[in-house]
Structure 1
Amino acid sequence: MAKERVTVVDIARAAGVSKSTVSLVLQGSALVNEATRAKVNVAIRELGYVYNRSAANLRQAKSKIIGIVVNDLTNSFFAELAVGVDAVVQSAGFVQFLANTSEKIERQREVIASMREHGVSGLIISPARGTEAADLAPLVASGIPVVLVVRDIADAGVSSLISDNHAGAVAAVRHLVERGHRRIAFLGGFPDTAVFEARMRGYRDALREAGMSTPDELIIGSAPSRAGGVTAIEQAMMLKERPTAALCFNDAVAFGVCDGLRARRLEPGADFAVIGFDDVIEAKTAVPALTTVSVDPQGMGDRAAQLLLKQINAGRAEPEAIISPVRLVVRQSCGGLVERRVKEISS
Structure 2
Amino acid sequence: MTKERITVVEIAHAAGVSKSTVSLVLQGSSLVNEVTRAKVSAVIRELGYVYNRGAANLRQSNSKSKIIGIVVNDLTNSFFAELAVGVDDVVQSAGYVQFLSNTGESVDRQREVIASMREHGISGLIVSPARGTEPADLKPLVASGIPVVVVVRNIQGAKVSSLMSDNHAGASAAVEHLVALGHRRIAFLGGFPDTAVFAERLVGYQTALKSADIAFDASLVISSAPSRAGGVDAIDRAVRLGDRPTAALCFNDAVAFGVCDGLRANRLEPGADFGVIGFDDVIEAKTAVPALTTVSVDPQGMGRRAAQLLLKQINSGNADPEALVGSVRLVVRESSGPARRDVEKRTA
Write the distance in 2 (CA, Å) between the matches of 1:181 and 1:159: 39
Separation in 2 of the partners of 1:332 and 1:4? Answer: 66
Q: How does 1:193-272 map to 2 (within 5 A)?
A: 193-272=195-274
1:175 to 166, 174, 177: 177
CA contact (8 A) 1:59 1:118 kept: no
CA distance in 1, matches of 2:136, 2:99: 24
Deviation at 1:59, TM superposition (A): 3.5
Deviations 1:214-264 (A, max 9, x none): 110000000000000000000001100010000000000000000000001
Q: Helix, strand or coil: the match of 1:31? A: coil
CA pair 165-43 structure 1, distance change in 2 beyond 3 A: same
Residue 184 of structure 1 is aligned with which of 180, 183, 186?
186
**SS of the residue aligned with 2:335?**
helix
Task: Give distance in 2, aligned partners of 1:55 and 1:80.
Answer: 39
CA offset at residue 160 of structure 1? 0.1
Matched residue, 2:11: 11
Contact 1:65 1:95 in 2 (8 A): yes
Return the alpha-carbon distance in structure 2 between the equivalents of residues 4 and 160 of structure 1. 44
Normalised by the length of structure 1, the TM-score is: 0.95
- What is the match of residue 335 of structure 1? 337
> Following superposition of structure 1 onto structure 2, how do residues 23-62 of structure 1 map, counting pairs within 5 Å?
23-60=23-60, 61-62=63-64
The within-5 A match list for 1:127-142 is 127-142=129-144
Structure 1 residue ranges (4+ consecutive) displaced by more than 4 angstroms after TM superposition:
1-4
Amino acid aligned to 1:45: R
Paired AA for residue 188 in structure 1: G
Aligned to 1:73: 75
Amino acid at match of 1:334: S
List aligned pairs for 1:116-135, cutoff 5 A. 116-135=118-137
Report what 1:345 is aligned to: none
Amino acid in the other structure paired with 1:315: G
Identity %: 79
- Secondary structure of the residue aligned to 2:162 is strand
Deviating more after overlay: 52-61 vs 281-290: 52-61
Alpha-carbon separation, structure 2, partners of 1:110 and 1:121: 17
Structure 1 gap ranges (5+): 337-347
Superposed CA deviations along residues 93-141 of structure 1, whole A, max 9, x for unmatched, are 1001001010110101100111011110000000000111122222211
Aligned to 1:82: 84
Task: Name the residue aligned to 1:99.
Answer: 101
Distance in 1 separating the partners of 2:198 and 2:213: 23
Amino acid at match of 2:155: I
How do 1:149-160 residues align onto structure 2 when only pairs under 5 Å count?
Answer: 149-160=151-162
- Counterpart residue identity of residue 260, structure 2: C
1:300 CA drift (Å): 0.2
* Residue identity matched to 1:128: A
TM-superposition CA deviations, 1:288-330 (whole Å, max 9, x none): 0000000000000000000000000011201100000000000
1:8-61 Cα deviation digits (max 9, x unpaired): 111011111111000001111111112111111111111121223343234322
Aligned amino acid, residue 122 of structure 1: G
**SS, match of residue 292 in structure 1:** strand
Q: Provide the C-alpha distance between the structure 2 equivalents of 1:65 and 1:90, rounded to a whole number of angstroms.
A: 10
Deviation at 1:4, TM superposition (A): 7.9
Which residue identity lines up with residue 326 of structure 1 in the other structure? V
Contact 1:159–1:321 (Cα < 8 Å) also in 2: yes
Question: Per-residue displacement from partner, 1:159-194 (whole Å, max 9, x unpaired)?
Answer: 000000000000000000000000000000000000
Cα distance in structure 2, aligned partners of 1:205 and 1:97:
40
Instruction: Give 1:3 deviation, angstroms.
Output: 8.1
1:308 correspondence with 2:310: yes
Q: CA deviation at 1:2?
A: 7.2
- Aligned twin of 1:342: none
Rounded to whole Å, the distance in 2 between the matches of 1:2 and 1:84 is 48
The runs of 5 or more residues in structure 2 that have no matched partner are 339-348
Take 1:58 and 1:210, find their aligned partners in 2: how far apart are those partners?
A: 63
Q: One-letter code of the match for 1:49?
A: Y
> How many residues are aligned here?
336
Which whole-Å CA distance do the structure 2 matches of 1:158 and 1:134 have between them?
12
What secondary structure does 1:247 align onto? Answer: strand
Code of the residue aligned with 1:19 in structure 2: it is K
Aligned to 2:345: none
Q: Contact between 2:3 and 2:49, CA under 8 Å: does it hold in 1?
A: no
Q: Distance in 2 between matches of 1:235 and 1:142?
A: 48
Task: Name the SS for the 1:228 alignment partner.
Answer: helix
> Cα RMSD between the aligned structures?
1.2
* Aligned-partner residue type, residue 278 of structure 1: D
